Structure 1
Amino acid sequence: MKVSYNWLKDFIDFDVSPNHLSEILTNLGLEVEKTKKIESIKGGLEGIFVGHVIECYKHPNADRLKLTKVKIDKDNILQIICGAPNVSSNQKVAVATVGTILYDQYGKEFKITKSKIRGELSMGMICSEKELGISDNHDGIFVLKSSIKAGTPLKEIIKSETDHVFDIGLTPNRSDAMSHMGIARDLKAVFNFKNINYKNKKYDVNAFKIDSNSNNIPVEILNPKKCYNYHGLTISNVIVEESPEWLKNRLTSIDITPKNNIVDITNYVLHHLGQPLHAFNADIIKNKIVVKECDSKTKFKTLDGVERLLDKEDLMICDDEKPLCIAGVFGGENSGINNNTTNIFLESACFEPKTIRKTAKRHFLSTDASYRFERGVDPELTLFTLKFAASLIKSICGGKISSEIQSFSNHPKEKEIVDLKLRSIDSLIGEKISLKFIISILESLEIKIVKESKENLLLKIPYYRVDVTRPADVIEEILRIYGYNNLKSSNLKHQFKPKFDLFEPAKVEKSISNFLISNGFNEVLNNSLTSSKKTKDKLNDSITILNPLSSETSSLRQSMINSILGSISYNINRQNRDLKLFEFGNVYFKKEKYIETQKLCISLFGNIFDENWNVTFSVSKFYYLKGVISNILDLLKIYNYNVEYFKNSFFLEGVFYKTKGLKLIEMGLLDNKLLNNYDIKGSVYVAEFDWNNILKLAYKQPIKYKNLSKHPSSRRDFSLLINDSVNFNSIKKIAFKTDNSILKNVSLFDYYKGKEIPSGKKSYGVSFSFQDEKRTLTDKEIDFIMDKLFVNLQKELKAELR
Structure 2
Amino acid sequence: MTISYQWLMDYLPEAIPVNELSQILTSIGLEVEAIERSEAVRGGLAGLLIGEVLTCGKHPNADKLSVTTVNVGGETPLKIVCGAPNVAAGQKIVVATVGTTVHPTNGESFLIKKAKIRGEESEGMICAEDEIGLGESHAGIMILPADAIVGTLAKDYFNIPETDFTIHIGLTPNRSDANSHIGVARDVCAYLTHHKGGKHEVVMPAISNDTTAKGNLINVSVEAQAACPRFTGVSLKNVKVGESPEWLKLRLTAIGVRSINNIVDITNFVLHEYGQPLHAYDADKIAGSQIIVKFLADGTPFTGLDDKERKMRATDLMICDTNGPLGIGGVFGGAYSGISDATTNVFLESAYFDSRHIRITSTHFGLRTDAATHFEKGVDINNVLPALLRAAAMIVDIAGGAIAREVTDLYPTALQPVEVTITYSYIHKLSGKEYTPAAIKETLTALGFVIIAEAADGLTLQVPSNKPDVSQPADIVEEILRIDGLDNVQLTGRLNIALTKALPGDRQQKERMAELLCGMGVQEIVTNSIVNSKYYPNQENLVRMINSLSAELDVMRPSMLESGLEVIEYNCNRKSQDLSLFEFGNVYHHGGEAKYIQEQRLGIWITGNVKSAQWNQKAQKADAYYMKGMIGNMLAYSGITNTTLSYPAENSDTLETTWKWKNNILCTMTRVSAAKLKQMDVKQDVFFADIHWDTWTKAMAAHKIKYAEVPKFPAVARDLAIVLDKEITYKQVQDETEKLKIDSLQSFGLFDVFENEKLGAGKKSYALSYTFQLQDRTLTDAEIEQVMKQLIDVYTNKLNAQIRS
| Cα drift, residue 478 of structure 1 | 0.5
> Aligned partners of 2:716, 2:44: CA distance in 1, in Å?
96
> Structure 2 regions of 5+ residues with no counterpart?
758-763
- 2:261 counterpart residue number: 260
> Aligned partners of 1:10, 1:619: CA distance in 2, in Å?
62
> Aligned partners of 1:403, 1:555: CA distance in 2, in Å?
51
CA displacement, residues 430-463 of structure 1 (integer Å, 9 cap, x when unaligned): 2211111111100101112222223332222112
Alignment of 1:324-473 (within 5 A): 324-409=326-411, 413-473=415-475
| Cα drift, residue 233 of structure 1 | 1.9
SS of the residue corresponding to residue 394 of structure 1 reads helix
- 1:658 counterpart residue number: 661
Confirm whether residue 508 of structure 1 aligns to residue 492 of structure 2: no
- 2:760 counterpart residue number: none
CA displacement, residues 463-515 of structure 1 (integer Å, 9 cap, x when unaligned): 21122222222111111111223332332343555568899335412333145
Equivalent pair of 2:267/2:278 in contact (CA under 8 Å) = yes
> Aligned partners of 1:690, 1:161: CA distance in 2, in Å?
65
> Aligned partners of 1:118, 1:784: CA distance in 2, in Å?
102
> Aligned partners of 2:339, 2:360: CA distance in 1, in Å?
27
- 1:2 counterpart residue number: 2
- 2:18 counterpart residue number: 18
- 1:759 counterpart residue number: none
- 1:558 counterpart residue number: 558
CA displacement, residues 103-157 of structure 1 (integer Å, 9 cap, x when unaligned): 4533866677888999999887777777776667868511144xx8777767666
CA displacement, residues 260-308 of structure 1 (integer Å, 9 cap, x when unaligned): 2212211211122111111111111111222234455555443344444
User: Match for 2:189: what amino acid?
Assistant: K
- 2:188 counterpart residue number: 187
| Comparing 219-228 and 498-507, the one that deviates more | 498-507
SS of the residue corresponding to residue 10 of structure 2 reads coil
> Aligned partners of 1:658, 1:229: CA distance in 2, in Å?
64
Confirm whether residue 219 of structure 1 aligns to residue 220 of structure 2: yes
Structure 1 pair 5/627, CA: closer, same or farther in 2 (3 Å)?
closer
- 1:758 counterpart residue number: none
User: Match for 1:273: what amino acid?
Assistant: Y
SS of the residue corresponding to residue 460 of structure 2 reads strand
SS of the residue corresponding to residue 19 of structure 1 reads helix
Equivalent pair of 1:233/1:403 in contact (CA under 8 Å) = yes
Equivalent pair of 1:126/1:141 in contact (CA under 8 Å) = no
| Cα drift, residue 536 of structure 1 | 8.1
SS of the residue corresponding to residue 270 of structure 1 reads helix
CA displacement, residues 205-230 of structure 1 (integer Å, 9 cap, x when unaligned): 66212234421122233333322322
Structure 1 pair 103/304, CA: closer, same or farther in 2 (3 Å)?
farther
> Aligned partners of 1:154, 1:682: CA distance in 2, in Å?
58
User: Match for 1:174: what amino acid?
Assistant: R
> Aligned partners of 2:556, 2:478: CA distance in 1, in Å?
36
> Aligned partners of 1:363, 1:86: CA distance in 2, in Å?
59
| Cα drift, residue 346 of structure 1 | 0.7
- 1:708 counterpart residue number: 711
- 1:599 counterpart residue number: 601
> Structure 1 regions of 5+ residues with no counterpart?
756-761
- 1:162 counterpart residue number: 162
Residues matched between the structures, number: 782
> Aligned partners of 2:113, 2:570: CA distance in 1, in Å?
56
Equivalent pair of 1:70/1:80 in contact (CA under 8 Å) = no
Structure 1 pair 7/607, CA: closer, same or farther in 2 (3 Å)?
closer
> Aligned partners of 2:135, 2:610: CA distance in 1, in Å?
67
> Aligned partners of 1:484, 1:204: CA distance in 2, in Å?
31
> Aligned partners of 2:253, 2:627: CA distance in 1, in Å?
61
Equivalent pair of 2:190/2:200 in contact (CA under 8 Å) = no
Identity within the alignment, % = 33
SS of the residue corresponding to residue 543 of structure 2 reads coil
Equivalent pair of 1:96/1:125 in contact (CA under 8 Å) = yes
TM-score (norm 1): 0.78
SS of the residue corresponding to residue 474 of structure 2 reads helix
Equivalent pair of 1:282/1:345 in contact (CA under 8 Å) = yes
> Aligned partners of 2:301, 2:279: CA distance in 1, in Å?
21
- 1:690 counterpart residue number: 692
| Cα drift, residue 240 of structure 1 | 1.4
CA displacement, residues 159-188 of structure 1 (integer Å, 9 cap, x when unaligned): 432143241323222221121111111111
| Cα drift, residue 586 of structure 1 | 0.9
Equivalent pair of 1:38/1:162 in contact (CA under 8 Å) = no
> Aligned partners of 2:357, 2:109: CA distance in 1, in Å?
50
CA displacement, residues 557-581 of structure 1 (integer Å, 9 cap, x when unaligned): 222244456678889999999x995
> Aligned partners of 2:562, 2:3: CA distance in 1, in Å?
45
SS of the residue corresponding to residue 533 of structure 2 reads coil
| Comparing 528-537 and 345-354, the one that deviates more | 528-537
SS of the residue corresponding to residue 380 of structure 1 reads helix
> Aligned partners of 2:723, 2:121: CA distance in 1, in Å?
108
- 1:583 counterpart residue number: 582
> Aligned partners of 1:52, 1:715: CA distance in 2, in Å?
102
User: Match for 2:276: what amino acid?
Assistant: Q
Structure 1 pair 626/86, CA: closer, same or farther in 2 (3 Å)?
closer
Equivalent pair of 1:600/1:691 in contact (CA under 8 Å) = yes
Equivalent pair of 1:94/1:154 in contact (CA under 8 Å) = no
- 2:476 counterpart residue number: 474
Structure 1 pair 685/281, CA: closer, same or farther in 2 (3 Å)?
closer
| Cα drift, residue 381 of structure 1 | 0.8
SS of the residue corresponding to residue 14 of structure 1 reads coil
> Aligned partners of 1:151, 1:44: CA distance in 2, in Å?
17
> Aligned partners of 1:100, 1:645: CA distance in 2, in Å?
74
User: Match for 2:471: what amino acid?
Assistant: T
User: Match for 1:105: what amino acid?
Assistant: P
> Aligned partners of 2:569, 2:123: CA distance in 1, in Å?
67
Equivalent pair of 2:453/2:460 in contact (CA under 8 Å) = yes
| Comparing 332-341 and 106-115, the one that deviates more | 106-115
User: Match for 1:276: what amino acid?
Assistant: P
| Comparing 79-88 and 364-373, the one that deviates more | 79-88
> Aligned partners of 2:205, 2:344: CA distance in 1, in Å?
27
Equivalent pair of 2:51/2:71 in contact (CA under 8 Å) = yes
| Cα drift, residue 348 of structure 1 | 0.7
> Aligned partners of 2:111, 2:413: CA distance in 1, in Å?
61
Equivalent pair of 2:444/2:480 in contact (CA under 8 Å) = yes
> Aligned partners of 1:120, 1:713: CA distance in 2, in Å?
95
- 1:106 counterpart residue number: 105
Structure 1 pair 539/346, CA: closer, same or farther in 2 (3 Å)?
closer
SS of the residue corresponding to residue 382 of structure 2 reads coil
Structure 1 pair 116/586, CA: closer, same or farther in 2 (3 Å)?
closer
